[in-house]
Structure 1
Amino acid sequence: MPASSRSFAETERAELADLLAELGPDAPTCCAGWTTGHLAAHLVVRDRRPDALPGYGVEQLGVARPLTSWAHRLEDRLRSSTPYAEVVDRVRSGPAPWLPMAWPPVARLLNTSEYAIHHEDVRRAQPRWEPRVLPRAAQDQVWSAVELFARRAAGRRGLVLRRSDDPGVEKRYGAGGRTVEGTPLELLLWASGRRDVARVTVS
């Protein structure tokens, strides 16, 4: 697919696959306990095994269930049975068109956040990383994806997410609470729990 016709999620997938291939399977990530090998296997299972999706869903809710254990067993099985280079090739090629993660409405809703977050999980675990400067269109797509994580991040205290790159644009969740300001990518990282590496201001 020509780069000019890719969605931001597709661009992130391609760039993340390049980075995974460059770093090899043993590089650190910002996901506790995961190397690049673990992360690559996770992405392939998420893309290609619909039976793993319920486990990932309850995991996002902070609930440990047998479904989550099944998803992680699938990841471990893939890592132990498949050469890393082949796993990365599967990350790059993505799901088959008939699988849920390839359906356009699902892809728009979930893949933007998934690939943006995990691309940064790899980038920001490496020495001397710097924030990327994304085009406005890409930041707008990320801004739409922040919703998936913001309500949980708001909790009972409430939350205001404010764009630093677009004065006056913000999203409010509940009443009062913290105000977190940054570009959409940084806000997404903060809302998804990457507080140590997100470049935001909190007031």
Structure 2
Amino acid sequence: MSLARRERHALADTMAAAGPTAPTLCGTWTVHDLAAHLVVRERRPDAAAGIVLSPLAGYLDAKQAEYARKSFPELLELVRTGPPWWSPLRPVDAFANLTEMFIHHEDVRRAEPGWEPRQLAARDEDRLWTALRAVARTAYRKSPVPVVLATPQGARITAHRGGGGEVVLTGPPSELLLHAFGRDEVRIVPTGAEADVNAVLATDRSV
């Protein structure tokens, strides 16, 4: 089973344990809201386009509100089932849904006090490192200083070049990927001049 599929099932289990009204790291969304978002993304490609196309944002909101009226158990089953056979995401689920499922799983986990990072298998961390390579430059494009992402084992990605002092963010690929996607509830070690580090940590990292 692919990592994306395993994270999908783990996300559904974590959502069920948290309950529909539990908070997430996705702004004001509850777990129920997040489940509706995931279902619309996979089952209403006409509306999901509003995620990246602002003229369709209102249509996306309307469809998400429509799905949010479904019962929580029904939404969880749709999340767990994944893209239907006709969805354009179905053939590329292992690739297209890897970051989506992993990050939203952590959005639910880390909204709870006392969270701790999971210990992932080395092969899973390697897969997330590959995913990080694909988004690193986009994520840190607004940084005012150079950014390097590094693992404790010495692997490195130059996420942003430019003038000023270099900032190195060190951590497991899973933690670095979460940071690249704008999450601050992570365990990474930043090094560099204090002002430069603060600037990088405050950078808009929307992908």
State the TM bucket, normalised to the shorter chain.
0.7 to 0.9
TM-score scaled to structure 2, two decimals? 0.84
How big is each residue's C-alpha offset from its partner over 1:53-94, in whole Å with a ceiling of 9 and x where there is no partner?
322234xxxxxx2212222221111112x1111000000000
> Contact 2:26/2:107 (CA < 8 Å) preserved in 1?
yes
Q: What is the match of residue 138 of structure 1?
A: 124
Q: Secondary structure at the match of 2:89?
A: helix
Q: Select which of 48, 53, 73 maps to 2:62.
A: 73
Number of equivalenced pairs: 186
CA shift at 1:161, angstroms?
0.9
Q: What is the match of residue 139 of structure 2?
A: 153
> Contact 2:23/2:30 (CA < 8 Å) preserved in 1?
yes
Q: Select which of 73, 77, 82 maps to 1:94.
A: 82
Distance 1:57 1:194 in 2: 19
Seen in structure 2, the aligned counterparts of structure 1 residues 158 and 110 have a Cα distance that, compared at 3 Å, is farther
Counterpart mapping for 1:34-73 below 5 A? 34-58=29-53, 65-73=54-62
Residue 190 (1) aligns with residue 179 (2): yes
TM-score scaled to structure 1, two decimals? 0.86
Moved more, 66-75 or 131-140: 66-75
Moved more, 182-191 or 140-149: 140-149
How big is each residue's C-alpha offset from its partner over 1:134-180, in whole Å with a ceiling of 9 and x where there is no partner?
0011111111111343223322533211112xx22111134254211
Seen in structure 2, the aligned counterparts of structure 1 residues 138 and 93 have a Cα distance that, compared at 3 Å, is same
Q: What is the match of residue 17 of structure 1?
A: 12
Seen in structure 2, the aligned counterparts of structure 1 residues 51 and 158 have a Cα distance that, compared at 3 Å, is farther
Question: Radius of gyration: which is bigger?
Answer: 2
Residue 113 (1) aligns with residue 99 (2): yes
Q: What is the match of residue 2 of structure 2?
A: 7
Distance 1:100 1:90 in 2: 16
How big is each residue's C-alpha offset from its partner over 1:114-148, in whole Å with a ceiling of 9 and x where there is no partner?
01100000000112211100001111111111134
User: In angstroms, what is the RMSD of aligned CA positions?
Assistant: 1.5
Distance 1:128 1:173 in 2: 30
Q: What is the match of residue 171 of structure 1?
A: 157
> Which ranges in structure 1 are unaligned for 5 or more consecutive residues?
1-5, 59-64
Letter in 1 for 2:111: A
Identity over the aligned pairs, expressed in percent? Answer: 41
> Contact 2:39/2:79 (CA < 8 Å) preserved in 1?
yes
Letter in 2 for 1:92: R
> Contact 1:112/1:141 (CA < 8 Å) preserved in 2?
no
Letter in 1 for 2:108: V
Letter in 2 for 1:89: E
Moved more, 33-42 or 170-179: 170-179
Q: Secondary structure at the match of 1:202?
A: strand
How big is each residue's C-alpha offset from its partner over 1:159-203, in whole Å with a ceiling of 9 and x where there is no partner?
211112xx22111134254211111110011000002x0111112
Distance 1:83 1:161 in 2: 41
How big is each residue's C-alpha offset from its partner over 1:24-70, in whole Å with a ceiling of 9 and x where there is no partner?
21001111110000000011111111112322234xxxxxx221222
